[in-house]
Structure 1
Amino acid sequence: MVLPARSTPTVAIFASDRGPGDPERASLMGEVGRVFARKGARILCLAEGGVIPVPLITAARAAGGAVEVLADTGIVLPPALAEVPIQVLPDHRERLAHMAATASVLVGLPGSLASATALFQTWASGSQLPVVMLNRHRAFEAIRGFAADVLSVSVPGHDRNIQFADNVEDLWNKIVWIGEQRR
């Protein structure tokens, strides 16, 4: 019996390597990059305002993954990332719209307020994309509470659009589950 090939998702990952907890955040980004690359996901990420999720990109590329960077005009990738495809879009809204049009799922990693804001702006733009957040150290607990208290009673099927994961493997499994639910 031949099973149909699963298509792997294009995952827009919102992450930042700036702020408190940098070493742990870098390690977490590296783990996400490795796991997602090994699963065959195509990773799309933002680089703007001087913030580049280098650990995510480096780990994904080292594991053989496909990564594309959407950047503002001020971003220069480090020499070690010279082979990473980069698309420069000067306008922030244009970058977020491109992410929404290209990705099949939005993923939020614990990080800075800027990365969480970009995730929310992309989702709120009417893209209808599912969102999965890695709730490490309760980073997205306020959003989880909002989803449970408000969205659950006002948005039918909200659980097929917003998920929270406790670890990286769970994050991947939720992405796969959401993809299956949306077919």
Structure 2
Amino acid sequence: MPIKPILKSGLRALTRRLSLILLLGALFFLYLGVQGEAFAASGAIAQLASTGESDLSGTVTFTPTDAGLQVTAEVTSAPPGLHGFHIHETASCANGGKGAGGHFNPDSVQHGRLITDGFDNAHAGDMGNLFVDSDGMGMYEQEFPGLSLEDGQHAIASRAVILHAKMDSYVQPTGAAGGRIGCGVIALQ
């Protein structure tokens, strides 16, 4: 048997195998890219913990929507009543929550209620109040148009959520909501 046809046949088989390997590799990297985008957009979470000696705990989730972010919180073992609930500028709960810095305010505006006052008249972190019932259970759910996880000046990832001791009364400069009784760092999921 002549060598030339054997080489041609082997070369064609090798070319087909390499093409298949390249195609599978491209599909694999495409899959990883899609998974990476889904991972980045899946949301963020903050695990609230007491800044003092109480058993206060909770979970705050941040889920992207077409308009912005859906914020959902569940809190346990908190004092009954309304409590100021804000995103603060720094991802730290050190020093009794003071490590979180001030309210997240990238627009340098006065304090307000973001959902009704918008970014022109409220801090981007001004989420209002969280209600806790007589059993120490608190729930919160609100969509905030314009907030994002990572993109733009209203991105909240790598910041902190603070639950305050008192109700946010929306007075200047920060709502007179009192001390920081709960804190959690916002981490991408």
Same fold (TM over 0.5): no
User: If the TM-score is normalised by the length of the shorter chain, which range does it land in?
Assistant: under 0.3
TM-score, normalization by structure 2: 0.23
TM-score, normalization by structure 1: 0.24
Q: Relative contact order (C-alpha < 8 Å, sep 6+): which is higher?
A: 2
Higher helix proportion (structure 1 or 2): 1
Higher strand proportion (structure 1 or 2): 2
* Bigger Rg over Cα: 2
